[in-house]
């Protein structure tokens, strides 16, 4: 079965999936599941929910397969669904957090004594955690644009297609994300040297 | 160009999206600490994001496939139910129309029969023509004429 689909081009596979071909759909899932999962992992930053959301991406993909136009690449379309699901999830989490005071307090870095030092010497593992935390604090629109650029290595025009926005907007979101990160990482003097 | 204007271009330069002024930007970065930081942020973020990746469990695609199949069969069932109900509704409308028209026809016939009966009876005609305002003589006359009919 694998060989059959590997000789077909993407348009033909999507057409088969559109017609309800289960094997074609399975091929698409297997081809993209890890890319989708990692994109979700990077945007949400929580591994425990990645598989559920990956599943949701592909189920939403089937639902909207009828609306798929062959003008854009399949991954652009799958990534758009992924980003939308991630942004929904971030909003859902924000709402939940707003209702839980203890949660809010534990999210506040000032409440944690380990963050109260201004200058730090940073080890490798700690460094990753600090940067991941700084990324997690970015506004969702900035974060998704930055991750599509830095993790997926996508050019601005592809990112604009995924986010359904203008290239100029993508440009400024990525720039602002970097400025905010630089601002946030200033307290760790060694990091930006 | 000053730093405030250049820093946006530095971000584009980092991403390889800058077409012009490349040398100018490179010269500026060498002398500007803030722009150096932007470049450093790029390296840190890029490294960090690519370092820690995950792989989904081999059962995920099987699970998705199973849900897909289930949804498809449910969809087929719904299509069947919707198709069936549509036919049922059309049939019910037809039956209703037939019944209504039968009732109308029979009602018309019965009205005609009623009229025919009434026209046959002079007593009723008399009551109608006088608007119910009968004299004693009229009543007597009617009683007699009805008796005659019988
Ligand atoms: Zn500068």
pLDDT confidence bin for A118, thresholds 50/70/90: very low
A173 Rama class: left (phi>0) / alpha (psi -120 to 50) / beta? alpha
* pLDDT at site B127: 63
* pLDDT at site A30: 95
* pLDDT at site B77: 78
For residue B133, report the phi and psi dihedrals to the nearest 5 degrees: -95, 85
Q: Which residues are found with C-beta within 5 Å of the ion, ligand 1? A: B 3, 32, 34-35
Distance B35 CA to ligand 1 centre (A): 4
pLDDT confidence bin for A114, thresholds 50/70/90: very low
- Highest mean pLDDT of the ranges A49-58, A68-77, B128-137: A49-58
Against a cut of 0.90, is the pTM above it?
no
Residue A111 has pLDDT above 90, yes or no: no
B111-147: b (≥16 Cβ within 10 Å) or e = eeeeeeeeeeeebeeebeeeeeeeeeeeeeebeeeee
CB contact under 8 A, B40 and A192: yes
Give the ipTM of the model, two decimals please.
0.82
A132: nearest Cα among A53, A191, A57: A191
**Please, where are the H alpha helices in chain B?**
3-14, 22-31, 33-51, 59-120, 122-130, 136-149
Q: Distance (Å, rounded) from C-alpha B129 to C-alpha B125?
A: 6
Mean pLDDT, chain B, as a whole number?
A: 83
CB contact under 8 A, B48 and A128: yes
N residues, chain B: 150
Q: Is A189 helix (H, G, I), strand (E, B) or coil?
A: coil
Q: Distance (Å, rounded) from C-alpha A15 to C-alpha A24?
A: 9
Distance B34 CA to ligand 1 centre (A): 5
As a CATH number, domain A121-187 is 1.10.10.10
Q: State the nearest Cα–Cα gap between A104 and chain B, in angstroms.
A: 26
Residue spans per domain, chain A: 1-110, 121-187
Distance A168 CA to ligand 1 centre (A): 20
Interface test with A, best of B54, B63, B70, B72 (most A CBs within 10 A): B54
Q: Is A193 helix (H, G, I), strand (E, B) or coil?
A: coil
pLDDT tens profile A26-46: 999 999 999 999 999 999 999
Q: Give residues with Cβ within 8 angstroms of B75, minimum separation 6.
A: none
Cα distances (angstroms) measured from residue A48 to each of A53, B97, B139: 10, 61, 100
Q: Distance (Å, rounded) from C-alpha B97 to C-alpha B75?
A: 33
CB count within 10 Å of CB A26 equals: 19
pLDDT tens profile A171-191: 999 999 999 999 999 888 777
Q: Is A138 helix (H, G, I), strand (E, B) or coil?
A: coil
Contact list in A for residue B46 (CB cut-off 8 A) is 150-151
Mean pLDDT, chain A, as a whole number?
A: 86
CB contact under 8 A, A192 and B37: yes
Interface check B56 vs A, CB under 8 A? yes
pLDDT confidence bin for B118, thresholds 50/70/90: low
Q: Distance (Å, rounded) from C-alpha A107 to C-alpha A122?
A: 22
CB contact under 8 A, B69 and A191: no
Q: Distance (Å, rounded) from C-alpha B96 to C-alpha B101?
A: 9
* pLDDT at site A7: 81
- Highest mean pLDDT of the ranges A112-126, A127-141, A178-192, B73-87: A127-141
* pLDDT at site B108: 75
A25: nearest Cα among A75, A57, A62, A55: A62
Q: What percent of chain B has pLDDT over 90?
A: 44
Q: Distance (Å, rounded) from C-alpha A58 to C-alpha A25?
A: 9
Q: Distance (Å, rounded) from C-alpha A89 to C-alpha A22?
A: 28
CB contact under 8 A, B54 and A147: no
Q: Distance (Å, rounded) from C-alpha A81 to C-alpha A36?
A: 10
* pLDDT at site B73: 82
Class of domain A1-110: mainly alpha
Q: Does residue A103 contact residue A157 with C-beta atoms inside 8 Å? A: no
pLDDT tens profile B17-56: 999 999 999 999 999 999 999 999 999 999 999 998 999 9
Q: Which residue has the higher pLDDT, B104 or A51?
A: A51
CB contact under 8 A, A59 and B64: yes
Q: Distance (Å, rounded) from C-alpha A106 to C-alpha B116?
A: 94
Please identify among residues 148-187 of chain A the ones whose CB lies closer than 8 Å to any CB of chain B: 149-151, 155-156, 171-172, 174-175, 178-179, 181-182, 185
């Amino acid at each position: 079965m694998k060989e059959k689909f590997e000789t077909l081009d993407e348009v033909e596979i999507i057409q088969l999936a559109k017609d309800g071909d289960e094997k074609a759909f399975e091929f698409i899932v297997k081809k993209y599941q890890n890319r989708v999962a990692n994109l979700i992992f990077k945007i949400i930053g929580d591994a425990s929910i990645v598989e559920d959301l990956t599943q949701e991406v592909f189920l939403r993909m089937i639902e909207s397969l009828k609306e798929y136009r062959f003008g854009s690449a399949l991954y652009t379309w799958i990534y758009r669904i992924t980003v939308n699901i991630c942004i929904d999830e971030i909003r859902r989490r924000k709402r939940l957090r707003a209702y839980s005071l203890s949660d809010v307090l534990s999210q506040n870095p000032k409440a944690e004594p380990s963050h109260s030092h201004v200058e730090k010497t940073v080890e490798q593992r700690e460094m990753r955690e600090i940067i991941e935390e700084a990324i997690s604090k970015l506004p969702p629109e900035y974060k998704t644009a930055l991750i599509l650029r830095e993790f997926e290595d996508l050019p601005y025009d592809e990112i604009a297609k995924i986010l359904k926005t203008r290239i100029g907007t993508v440009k400024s979101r990525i720039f602002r994300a970097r400025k905010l990160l630089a601002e946030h990482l200033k307290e760790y003097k060694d990091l930006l040297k | 160009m000053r730093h405030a204007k250049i820093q946006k271009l530095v971000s584009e330069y980092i991403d390889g999206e800058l077409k012009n002024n490349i040398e100018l930007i490179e010269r500026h970065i060498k002398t500007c600490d803030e722009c150096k930081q932007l470049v450093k942020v790029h390296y840190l973020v890029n490294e960090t994001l690519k370092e820690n990746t995950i792989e989904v469990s081999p059962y995920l695609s099987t699970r998705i496939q199973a849900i897909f199949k289930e949804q498809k069969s449910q969809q087929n069932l719904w299509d069947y139910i919707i198709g069936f109900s549509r036919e049922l509704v059309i049939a019910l409308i037809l039956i209703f129309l037939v019944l209504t028209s039968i009732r109308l026809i029979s009602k018309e016939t019965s009205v005609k029969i009623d009229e025919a009966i009434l026209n046959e009876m002079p007593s009723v005609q008399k009551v109608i023509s006088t608007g119910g305002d009968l004299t004693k003589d009229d009543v007597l006359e009617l009683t007699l004429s009805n008796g005659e009919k019988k």
